[in-house]
Structure 1
């Protein structure tokens, strides 16, 4: 591969089941972002403009081009074998004891733990995401890697060979789209950038708790597939750095982003949805204006909604009115 040309990576994405070095896993959302830290092999080799293919060990999930990488710092709990001190241990879902150490083949119920400060990385790749419909199986993907026997979560991929495999699977159009996306991403400023917000450690757990408490319901539009919902903070996570269960609602991804920007807000006096005037020109959003929430609010929710309103609506009596 020529110096400076984009690289290609096969990345394992199985949510909190993706363990590395005996930790609690990573917060992944395959069609939007991928997370890792400096303890992972190839951590600092991944760059903006690189092509990525995500899989779950059994089949391909999708592919994209990295449009940005946010970096930060976080603390994570590392687990070690009680017998040899090694980090290559796995939790067992149904068997006891709970842990098995690969190097020494010992099992144990409680692991040794320590907290380590790690540099964190999160790719952003939603702009060019392609769902590949599990068209290639795990064995095929392994064979397409530079080192087919690699066990790393992020391993170099032979991109040309991957493209040919997609063509043979009847996905030639996707190959062309990924080539166009690569050219687009190459025009972006390269490298990593320091995140403006704190990495949202525990975000996946926060979402799970909201789903358990509120059900698969978008607070603005009603019943929705759980896969389409995100955990939206009603406050600035960057400021507080904590997940408050009464400070979150479930929202569709597009509505979440508009809410974070203040383009959509909730009038604390009426608990109805308020749109900024420019959104009223869009047929898919205009019907939300003045609509009551689809989720029952607790007192804590109302307090955070008031703060969000004060932050984003300096003239609340005219907000959302053309």
Structure 2
């Protein structure tokens, strides 16, 4: 792997059970963001444009491409063994005393603590997220790492070997992943950067509610596989900061990106699809011009659609 080239990572995502150095864990939302700090090995090596595969020790959860890394600072409580002062301790769920220290084998109920200022990192990867439906088990994933015996939360993954294993798994999700992965290879943004974007906490629940209400239907192109449908906000989530169920529709992944850019919109006067002129030369999109939506809209949807139109189209209502 050449220096500076995109890397691939297997990242452990098990919420507050993911501990490092006896800390309180991390607030992961696997299909939206992944959090870590500079106490974790490889903290500053992960970069925008890298591929990530998330798992929960037992099986793969999904994969994505890192769009952005939000950095900051926080105060963090670190727990240590009161006997040997090592940080390699774990809380025990069913046994007492509560803690066990692996270096010295001591067990105890009260850990020594200290507060440390750490640099924090949080990936944003929801736009490219692909749910892989637990199609590869944990043992297989470990074997696909550069260092199969590694115990790190973020470990380098042999990307080509991972793609081959998914191909052998033969699931529909695998096929979608392999197609998307070829697109990811086309470009790579670079580096960490400070960002002032809102992390989309709750995006998974938002999508699940839309699927339950609207069914597996892209609002612009009609019924489609669940794996390629995304929960699209009809407004700027970064500005509003919360999910409104009447402000969301399910959109196919490519259509979602075009909608966010305003290349595809809904004319609020006719509630029909409006394409920018440059899209008319693409046969996959041209037939959408002037068509009604495949999803029934309520009054709330229409209100958000009007705001989206005013934001991206210059002609007045």
TM-score by length of 1: 0.64
**Where does residue 280 of structure 1 map in the other structure?**
280
Post-superposition CA distance 1:30-65 (Å, at most 9, x none): xxx75224388344442346564554545567878x
Post-superposition CA distance 1:256-312 (Å, at most 9, x none): 110010000001011110000111110000111111111111111111101111111
**Where does residue 36 of structure 1 map in the other structure?**
35
Question: Aligned partners of 1:125 and 1:242: how far apart in 2?
Answer: 16
Question: Aligned partners of 2:244 and 2:288: how far apart in 1?
Answer: 26
DSSP-derived class of the 2:294 partner: coil
Shift of 1:315: 1.9
Matched, 1:20 2:21: no
**Where does residue 192 of structure 2 map in the other structure?**
192
Question: Aligned partners of 2:202 and 2:167: how far apart in 1?
Answer: 39
Question: Aligned partners of 1:262 and 1:293: how far apart in 2?
Answer: 16
1:46-125 residue pairs with structure 2 within 5 A?
Answer: 46-48=46-48, 52-55=52-55, 57-58=57-58, 68-71=67-70, 100=93, 104=97, 119-122=120-123, 124=125
**Where does residue 227 of structure 2 map in the other structure?**
227
Question: Aligned partners of 2:303 and 2:37: how far apart in 1?
Answer: 38
Distance 1:237 1:88, change over 3 A: farther
1:138-149 residue pairs with structure 2 within 5 A?
Answer: 138-143=138-143, 145=145, 146=147, 148=149
Distance 1:167 1:286, change over 3 A: closer
Question: Aligned partners of 2:127 and 2:247: how far apart in 1?
Answer: 26
Question: Aligned partners of 1:286 and 1:220: how far apart in 2?
Answer: 12
Question: Aligned partners of 1:169 and 1:310: how far apart in 2?
Answer: 43
**Where does residue 320 of structure 1 map in the other structure?**
none
Question: Aligned partners of 1:256 and 1:56: how far apart in 2?
Answer: 28
Q: CA RMSD in A?
A: 4.7
Shift of 1:101: 5.5
**Where does residue 78 of structure 1 map in the other structure?**
none
Post-superposition CA distance 1:164-186 (Å, at most 9, x none): 78889998xxxxxx9xx88x87x
Shift of 1:197: 2.6
Shift of 1:248: 0.7
Which runs of 5 or more structure 1 residues have no equivalent in the other structure?
76-86, 91-99, 107-116, 172-177, 318-322
TM-score by length of 2: 0.65
Q: Decide whether the 8 Å contact of 1:58 with 1:137 is kept in 2.
A: yes
1:144-163 residue pairs with structure 2 within 5 A?
Answer: 145=145, 146=147, 148=149, 150=151, 152-157=152-157, 159=158
Question: Aligned partners of 1:222 and 1:213: how far apart in 2?
Answer: 15
How many residues are paired up? Answer: 271
Distance 1:166 1:277, change over 3 A: closer
DSSP-derived class of the 1:227 partner: helix
Q: Decide whether the 8 Å contact of 2:34 with 2:123 is kept in 1.
A: yes
Q: Decide whether the 8 Å contact of 1:73 with 1:118 is kept in 2.
A: yes
DSSP-derived class of the 2:204 partner: helix
